[in-house]
């Protein structure tokens, strides 16, 4: 049985979105095996699925420090890392790449990522769509996963365009009513 890295109590299975995770019944922290955080984020809000933070692929981008917490899976010492620009410090295991989240950190991560999406401009989305289009061809994830990411960005870019250029909606609607092929 896995033990809580924070308080040493046993971890119990809890359903979180589409997956089973390990939760400490005492301190309410959550252990996520490799890849599970992305699945939970996508279940909470499919629009944030493309905001990947590949800690284990780009460790130089993250300020980290070793902690006293031991990984419940492989017993290696975890590393404390700020998760993107969310303001949330996660405990990450460099050995098995699992993640320990304290109580209430997951909702803070989701909220921060949704806030990041809402602040992006049309230009930001245009640059992201070009980057993501390249990943469809060269990315490390499956073609379907990369395609879903690109589709999310294009949809959000469309929404942002209409927010930034409301007259464009009127123009497009007017053009649609003039369509002789209807």
> What sign for the dihedral angle of Cα 157, 19, 141, 89?
positive
What contacts 20, CB < 8 A, 6 or more positions away? 13, 14
Query: What is the model's pTM?
Result: 0.74
Retrieve residue 138's tokens.
């060269």
Determine the pLDDT at residue 70. 94
Q: What is the pLDDT of residue 123?
A: 92
Residue 121 pLDDT? 92
Intervals of the chain under pLDDT 70? 52-62, 178-182
CB proximity list for 84: less than 8 A, separation 6 or greater: 51, 53, 112, 113, 116
CA 179, CA 182: separation in Å to the nearest integer? 6
Distance in angstroms (rounded) separating the CA atoms of residues 30 and 153: 29
What is the model's pLDDT at position 170? 78
pLDDT confidence of residue 37: 87
């Amino acid at each position: 049985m896995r033990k809580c890295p924070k308080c040493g109590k046993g971890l119990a299975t809890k359903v979180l979105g589409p997956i089973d995770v390990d939760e400490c019944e005492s301190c309410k922290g959550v252990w996520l095996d490799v890849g599970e955080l992305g699945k939970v984020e996508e279940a909470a809000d499919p629009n944030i699925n493309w905001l990947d933070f590949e800690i284990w692929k780009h460790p130089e981008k993250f300020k980290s420090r070793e902690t006293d917490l031991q990984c419940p899976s492989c017993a290696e010492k975890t590393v404390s890392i700020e998760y993107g620009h969310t303001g949330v410090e996660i405990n990450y295991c460099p050995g098995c790449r699992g993640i320990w989240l304290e109580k209430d950190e997951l909702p803070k991560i989701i909220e921060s990522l949704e806030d990041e999406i809402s602040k992006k401009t049309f230009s930001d989305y245009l640059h992201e769509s070009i980057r993501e289009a390249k990943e469809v061809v060269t990315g490390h994830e499956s073609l379907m996963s990369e395609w879903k990411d690109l589709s999310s960005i294009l949809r959000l870019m469309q929404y942002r365009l209409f927010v930034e250029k409301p007259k464009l909606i009127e123009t497009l609607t007017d053009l649609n009513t003039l369509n002789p092929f209807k």
